[in-house]
A and B are shown apart, each in its own frame.
Chain A
Amino acid sequence: MMTLLILFFPLVASLLVLISGNKLASKVALFFSVIELAITFYCYLIYKQSGAESFYYFKEWIADPKISFHLGMDGLSLLMVILTNFLTPIIILSAFNRNIENAKGYFSLITFMQFALVGVFVAYDGLLYYIFWELALIPIYFIALRWGGPNRVNVTLKFFIYTLAGSLLMLFGFIMLYHYNPSHSFDIRELYANASKVCSCNQSWLFWLFFAAFAIKIPIVPFHTWQADTYKEAPTQGTMLLAGIMLKMGTYSLIRWLIPIVPAGVAEWGPYAIVLCVIGIVYASVIAIMQKDLKKLFAYSSVAHVGLIAAGIFALNMQGLQGSVVQMLAHGVNVVGLFFCADIIFNRTQSLNVEGLGGIRNVAPKFNTLFMIVVLGSVALPLTNGFIGEFLLLFGVYEYNTWLSVFAGLTIILGAVYMLRMFQNVMLGNTNETTSVFEDLKWNEMLVLGIIAIVIIVMGVYPKPVFEMAEPALQQILNNALIK
């Protein structure tokens, strides 16, 4: 079955990379991830022909308590899988031409993480989903631990324990849900069908248990304190995995596993959640303006953008949900581009200090153009993918509450402030001694940034396939979520 193949292929690839030795590891990993991308494209063609039914896979796993190995890909999951399998070869490609010690371990962990991430997106059974959610934590922890920056030990431990705390609360929530649910099952269809049968007094604190896990993962202020340091200390590919895909696990779970399963809880506490999200947007943007370190600036900008995504989800209307799906894809691509640009700058100049750099445009015009496109995508200029996402999200939040959308709309202005000011400080102006040694792009960097730039523009001009794919799934989820 295609779903099984698309799930387990990266696991097999991970083992093969491990045994292929340090010299070949990156090429083997790239080869297999491109094949996985081809499989994903083939799945997309199947989906266009026959819809989501062809992707169901069900097998009994444990009889009591009933956990099944149930996989499935509807439009929403397929879009997330496409994002994961598109970004992974790009992430692997970005690691070429960098001397990475113990390369086989590094790339093996990256492909293993791809396996866990695809698992999260295709799991249709609550506990199977939880297992993949936790499983994704292990490779990223070791990637950050072995190959990270100088302060990585404490930072990654904080990240691991913080995220694990959220996950364990979610496990507790799942077990309680299992017992409150009259059909005693983790299967997503049962959970959706019985969402209204769970008494709303229980749904309240079930909401908070699940929300804790997702809020920590996304992150939503005030659960964001692990994020900036972890993004800074992790190696570039680790940060790309974290910001590009792992964070989408959180927002995807809000749509798939929170709003349709505890609708009464969402109805009661959703307003508080959306206010938290909007506060996070403004707060993170303001902090981003103050940042001097490039990676931390991008990290805080990421918090601001995903705050808007989460706010759009809690708005509980079609525009908000569609906007969140598009913005998840857009943000994934943009943030990978941004962190790669930061990596290129660090690789050439050994410095990430915004004030110490300048005038790179004069020495590296190709990098300048591509970096500019990525920045504009992040700032949500019309014709870029960021614009489609942010516009729909703001529209969705506006339908929910006008004032919230005004505050959320500040992200556009503040985003322009910190991004364009960063770009001006780093790229424009006079070349100084740090930046005059800047080599222009190598072949893999050109390829990665080029592909990202093309995707930014194409998605910005023609986002229709995304909407079409996500529509049926989102409609079903919305129907479930609006049942009180």
Chain B
Amino acid sequence: MNTLIYTSILGLLCMVVEIFDFRKILVPMIILGLATIFYINIEDWNHVQFFYNNMLRADNYSVAFSGLAIVISAFVFVLSSDFYKDDSKHISDYLAILVFVLCGALIMFSFWNMAMLFLGIEILSISLYIMAGSKRFDVRSNEAGFKYFLMGSFASGFLLFGIALIYGATRSFHLANIAAYVAAGNISPIFYVGMTMMLVAMLFKVAAVPFHFWSPDVYEGSPALVTTLMSTLVKIAAFGAFYRLFYVCFLDTLGSINLILAIVTAATIILGNLTALSQINFKRLLAYSGISHAGYLLLALISMKGGTANAIFYYSSGYAIATIGAFAVAILVFKAMKNENIDAFNGLGKKNPLLAAALTMSMLSLAGIPPFAGFLGKYYIFSEAIKNGQIALTFIAVLNSIIGVYYYFKVILAMYTKPADETEVSGNVSYYVIISVCLLLSVLLGIFPGVLMHLF
């Protein structure tokens, strides 16, 4: 599990940098480190290995998702050097904690033991509780951190209880043993209870209805960079872990929770889109739209029997790239306008046409319009869902995509039709680099999806 070890070392190194006051090399060191780790990760391709007494299993699934997570983190870290330039005293702490978030995600993708799943989720979550509240003198940030901590811990309690019940039924934490238990038939009732509780915990982590109430407040209150990481990495990690757990262990018993999953999926998609319509704050808008995207991914999850890991991976990649591009533009605009509402974008088309075009294309990709990656992702999920018989849910998803267009266009309209004021919006070169890369990837993934579509 070299990837995991090196990432942890990278995190520790960041903290050490604090001691020796090498802050200038912090971000370049992290980027270089992540590039090396990405390469080490790729080396594990097509090479299944077990680690630590079979607690971790590195297979193609974990390599692919880990690669995606590393790339997303790298983008966020490039943005961080300029984001924290006013707060350079604590930057190494913040970035070290963000590296530990990545560690948690890596564990969540490659766990092969329930205890590891819990460890991964907790490492990810606790790091984020701290980061959500990291703007210590902002009351919204304190509220976000506290809310996230309370509700997240409660959900982790559910997770633990579920794991305990499953242990009670199967007498093992090990995924292979649990799968064997399920295959053998004669499943004890407490297994189902345990499975449902784990489902609840997972639904909380991905912010599915009705466990989504923490999401808008936490996204709005956290610093924008942390929101970027939360809306991309955490969702993908949660879904990656969710899929792995359910596909390996619970596939045959999926029928028992099918109704719950179907209702949750439909509610998530519908509620996510409908509530986003009336949002004024941009971060809140993206939070609710993220809830609806979680709904689409749940649609892929409920069609698990056909092996929808590819669809989830491709959709996550398209969603992450579009979101990072959107947030990069948003961070620049928020800094200049000192305002995080949609009307901060007024007139951006005239003030800075490049940023406006980039944000437009990110919004179009999120809305699912060709030729961006978001469209093919949605199409792929719809196709897999229909293949597995989820026709009604797909129809609901298609209808809600139409609703979704409206709130994405609210931002585009603000940029191009509302009058601009005098404040200039410009940014560091690093932001423009990330924005251009995200834009290019979004279009390339939409036109040449073959690269990422059939990995497993």
Selected A-B contacts with CB under 8 Å, 15 pairs: A61-B450, A62-B449, A64-B454, A65-B380, A131-B370, A131-B371, A153-B413, A160-B405, A160-B409, A172-B394, A172-B398, A175-B382, A176-B386, A176-B391, A178-B383
Tell whether A153 pairs with B417 under 8 Å between CB atoms, given A62-B449, A62-B450, A172-B395.
yes
Question: A residues 167-194 with Cβ under 8 Å of B?
Answer: 168-169, 171-172, 175-176, 178-179
Given contacts A157-B409, A179-B386, contact A138 B402 (CB under 8 A): no
Tally of A-B residue pairs with Cβ under 8 A?
66
Nearest neighbor of B385 in chain A, beta-carbon distance: A175
Question: CA A179 – CA B391 in complex, angstroms?
Answer: 11
**Contact at B370–A134, with CB atoms within 8 Å?**
yes
The reply to whether B364 and A138 form a contact with Cβ atoms under 8 Å apart is yes
User: Which residues of B in the span 408-426 have a Cβ within 8 Å of any Cβ on A?
Assistant: 409, 413, 416-417
What's the nearest-Cβ distance from chain B to residue A227, in Å? 19
Chain B residues close to A by CB (< 8 Å): 364, 369-371, 375, 379-380, 382-383, 386-387, 391, 394-395, 398-399, 401-402, 405-406, 409, 413, 416-417, 449-450, 453-454
Q: Which B residues are in CB contact (< 8 Å) with A157?
A: 406, 409, 413
Residue A127 at the B interface, CB < 8 A? yes
Contacts of B405 in A (CB 8 A): 160-161, 164
The answer to whether B382 and A63 touch across the interface, beta carbons within 8 angstroms, is: no
Complex alpha-carbon distance, A176 and B394, angstroms = 10
Residues of A within 8 A of B402 (CB): 161, 164-165, 168
**From B364, B383, B394, contact of A65 by CB (8 A):** B383
User: What distance in Å separates the Cβ of A107 from its nearest Cβ neighbour in chain B?
Assistant: 16
**Which residues of the partner chain B approach A135 to less than 8 Å between Cβ atoms?**
370-371
Q: Which residues of A contact B453 (CB under 8 A)?
A: 62, 64
Given A63-B454, A134-B375, A145 and B382 contact (CB-CB distance below 8 Å): no
Cα(A165)–Cα(B442), bound, Å? 23
Q: Does A366 contact B (CB under 8 A)?
A: no
Interface contact A175-B386, CB-CB below 8 Å: yes
Q: Are B387 and A179 in touch, CB under 8 angstroms?
A: yes
Q: Is there contact, CB below 8 Å, between A138 and B409?
A: no
Chain B residues near A169 (CB-CB < 8 A): 398
What distance in Å separates the Cβ of B103 from its nearest Cβ neighbour in chain A?
Answer: 34
When the two chains form the complex, which single residue of B382, B387, B406, B454 contacts A172, counting CB atoms closer than 8 Å?
B382
Most A Cβ at <10 Å: residue of B371, B380, B449:
B371
Q: Other CB < 8 Å A-B pairs besides A132-B370, A138-B364, A175-B383, 16 of them?
A: A62-B449, A62-B450, A62-B453, A63-B454, A64-B454, A65-B383, A134-B369, A134-B375, A145-B413, A161-B402, A161-B409, A168-B401, A168-B402, A169-B398, A171-B382, A179-B386
Across the interface, which residues of B come within 8 angstroms of A137, CB to CB? 369
Say yes or no for A146: interface residue by CB 8 A criterion: yes
User: Are A127 and B379 also in contact (CB < 8 A) when A172-B395, A179-B387 are?
Assistant: yes
In the complex, the chain B residue whose C-beta lies closest to that of A69 is B447
Bound-complex Cα distance A130 to B382 (A) = 15
Per a CB cutoff under 8 Å, which of A131, A142, A146, A171 touches B398? A171
Q: Tell me the A37-78 residues at the B interface (CB within 8 Å).
A: 61-65
Cβ proximity bits A241-259 to B, threshold 8 Å, 1 near / 0 not: 0000000000000000000
A145 and B417 contacting across the interface, CB-CB below 8 Å:
yes
CA–CA, A36 and B379, complex, Å = 33
Least distance between A198 CB and chain B CB atoms (Å): 14
**A133-152 interface with B by 8 A CB criterion:** 134-135, 137-138, 142, 145-146
Query: In the assembled complex, how far is the CB of residue A230 from the closest CB belonging to chain B, in whole angstroms?
Result: 15
CA distance A65 to B380 in the complex (A): 8
Residue from B364, B398, B413, B450 within 8 A of A63 (CB atoms): B450
> Which residues of A in the span 189-227 have a Cβ within 8 Å of any Cβ on B?
none
A138 surroundings in chain B (CB, below 8 A): 364, 369
CB-CB under 8 A from B387, the residues of chain A are 179
**From A146, which residue of chain B is reached at the shortest CB distance?**
B416
Which partner residue on chain A sits nearest B380 by CB separation? A65
Beta-carbon nearest neighbor of B409 in chain A: A157
Task: Please indicate the chain A residues that have their CB under 8 angstroms from the CB of B413 in the complex.
Answer: 145, 153, 157
Bound-complex Cα distance A171 to B380 (A): 11
Beta-carbon nearest neighbor of A179 in chain B: B386
Residue of B nearest to A127 (CB): B379
**A368-389, CB under 8 A of B: which get 1 and which 0?**
0000000000000000000000
- In the complex the two chains form, what is the Cα distance from A193 to B283 in whole Å? 50
**CB <8 Å contact, B375 and A131:** yes
**Most central of A62, A142, A146 by chain B CB within 10 Å:** A62
Q: What residue of chain A has the Cβ atom nearest to residue B368's Cβ?
A: A168
Chain B residue contacts of A142, Cβ below 8 A: 416
A467–B439 alpha-carbon span in the complex (Å): 46
Given the known A-B contacts A62-B453, A134-B370, are A168 and B398 also in contact in the complex, defined by CB atoms under 8 Å? yes
Q: Whole-angstrom distance between the alpha carbons of A169 and B449 in the complex?
A: 23
| A residues less than 8 Å from B369 (CB atoms) | 134, 137-138, 164
Q: Which residues of chain A from 266 to 306 have a CB within 8 Å of any chain B CB? A: none
A174 to B429 Cα, complex, angstroms: 44
Residues of B within 8 Å of A131, CB to CB, are 370-371, 375
Contacts of A153 in B (CB 8 A): 413, 417
Residues of A within 8 A of B450 (CB): 61-63
Distance in Å from the Cβ of A238 to the closest Cβ of chain B?
15
Which 5 A-B residue pairings sit nearest by Cβ, starting from the closest? Answer: A131-B370, A165-B402, A134-B370, A172-B398, A65-B383
Q: Report how far A127 CA is from B446 CA in the complex, Å.
A: 13
Complex: A127 Cα to B398 Cα, angstroms: 16
Kindly list chain A residues whose C-beta atoms are within 8 Å of the C-beta of B406: 157, 161
